[in-house]
Amino acid sequence: MVTVIVKYKTPKSYSREEISAMLNFGAENMFKGLPHLYSKQFCFDVDSSEGVSVYLWESREHAQAFFNQQFLQSFQQSMGTTPTVEYHDTIVVVDNRAGDTIAG
């Protein structure tokens, strides 16, 4: 498993309601049911216009295939900025909702 952290700062300020609507749309239309993606968290600080997304992928290969040049260009067009993308080997995951611990 691999955890991917995507960070960005938008040039435009958004209210909590505006960014929530945008991120919820992306969650429903792009990420819900996406093969090989275990989970994704959308985080955004409206005061600083900084966003962080945390993804848990089945493998680094699947994550890298998703975060390709086309993704970066699409992100640039929709959010007005190019994000940084970090990959981290996931050693252990605790899922309290499932009552499970998963070793990577």
pLDDT digits 0-9 by tens, 16-37: 999 999 999 999 999 999 999 9
Would you say 53 and 41 are in contact if contact means Cβ atoms under 8 Å apart? yes
CA distance 59 to 36: 8
With a cut of 90, say whether residue 98 has pLDDT above it.
no
Query: What distance in Å separates the CA atoms of residue 31 and residue 39, rounded to the nearest whole number?
Result: 9
The residue behind tokens 């993704």 is 71
Question: Cα separations (Å) of 90 from 37, 43, 56, 66?
Answer: 13, 20, 8, 18
pLDDT tens digits for 36-78?
A: 999 999 999 999 999 999 999 999 999 999 999 999 999 999 9
Report which secondary-structure segment, H or E, holds 4.
strand 2-9
pTM for this structure? 0.92
